[in-house]
Structure 1
Amino acid sequence: MSRIVHVNGSFLPEESASLSIFDRGLLFADAVYEVTAVIDGGLVDFEAHQQRLRRSLGELDIAFDPEAEDLLGIHRQLLQRNDLREGLIYLQISRGVADRDFVQPRGTPPSVILFTQALPLLEAPAAARGLRIITRPDLRWHRRDIKTTQLLYPSMMKSTAVAAGVDDVWMVENGEVTEGSSSNAHIITAEGQLITRPLSHDILHGITRAAVLDYAAEADLEVVERPFGVAEAQAAREAFATSATAFVTPVVEINGHPIGDGAPGPGTRRIRERYIARSRERLQY
């Protein structure tokens, strides 16, 4: 049975959905997106995702008002129409349709698409076994704080990881870890400090990252926002990645070097449990 998706104001079966070949999201990746997790049939951190969406739209000067367009109502309709209990809702907003030109057009109606993906998030296998990662140079553009659909290099890195027989890549710039192919990167030191790179143009301002930093104290961890290198990560007591799709997922190996005892650590497990529990308390239906 096909999914019901949303395209420019209409709900329709996925096989009937289409966009113009002149959509600037297709031609220039002139588009932003958000992915909201769904557990127990409710939306996780929806308002935080909407706040970041508004920021991304503003940075690209795309004229779209999420509240006026009732994105929450559309999300609710997709949950109901697809009977989604656990998984994701993907939202993409492009500048719209115009003849191909490098100059960004003014006044074009944005293109808006949403669709669901049913996925196991709470009992994801990676959360139990941990991620094995490798490092590669970070060669992306330098506005990574804007959540655009310009994802070719992260896709290349994820594919590089799979080809190498591991789970993901942590990207490195000037000797310091920036982030994963689709996640923020964190370590826990022997002294019990949670180290994570500070917000800047260099990394995505992760919604899960922000929540985790709030919960760190409850896991007896001191938060220190500073860069860290690969060697420090390899010597850490624990390491983990955060994202809307993976929640809090332990990293157990970097470039073949085991982290700690090579198994998911107690600090990461506590943070993941706390994140899921708090998310359930704030679900939006």
Structure 2
Amino acid sequence: MTGSPQAPRCVVFDLDGTLTDSKQPLAPRMAAGLRDLLELRPVAITTGGTWELMDAQVLRHLDAPEPLLGRLYLLPASGTCAYHRVDGGWLRQYSRDLSAEQKVRIVDTLLSVAAELEILVADPWGELIEDRGGQVTYSVLGQRAPLAVKEAWDPDGSSKEALRQLVQERLPDMAVRSGRSTSVDVTRPGVDKAYGVRELARSLELPLSTVTYVGDRLGTGGNDEPVRSLQEVICIEVSGWQQTAAWVEALVARARHDGPERDREPLADSPTAATGSHR
């Protein structure tokens, strides 16, 4: 692992592949790291998934007291909506939904392209298409496909990338991103994870330069890639929640050791980092 990002005033995490395995719950070690980090600064979690998945994967396993939950921000559906803890409940701060006409056109295109590429599954594990408000997600094997099956399908990512590229060609007015394992996400251009990060920084009255983003799909076509357009944000690429947990533990240890007066000093021995870019 290389790079030396500064200790941020706010950290935004991707979910699947970053904090958890795909659609799996937080591991105890990762949950402990997030609780420790929440004691020090605001934390946000974003995902291409739904609010319900965030609840099942994160909130039911975080075991955080109410004061810490007040520092947690949730950005499901790739940041097209946002939630914050207020008075013991989760308040929706905004939701940038697609229109009904847009959703129909997106669904028709996803299914027709999948059939054209001969990857349309006749007997999937659950629904192939999920309407997430501001995002439509296509899961090649179905929403409830077992993790081992998803990881075995298309190991080099070529089939999913072919799907993403062709859907993008057919929907030039939309943004088509590759999600984790077997999913492709479609949103309006500019309403994505970068949008969510900008809105979060604005609501917290923080400069973007004090925000760090941690994700596993910062490369071209990945659903974390839009965050790279925010030139001031430090982007950290990880490969799996274990690497994220180690990074969080090091960040927490350094912050506790140095105290608030040195809270912005570089953190060594971290995953790949770049300001406004991916490398």
TM > 0.5 between the two? no
- Normalised to the residue count of structure 2, the TM-score between the two structures is 0.23
Q: Which has the higher contact order (CA 8 A, sep 6+)?
A: 2
Identify, as 1 or 2, the structure richer in strand: 1
Identify, as 1 or 2, the structure richer in helix: 2
Larger Rg: 1
- Normalised to the residue count of structure 1, the TM-score between the two structures is 0.23
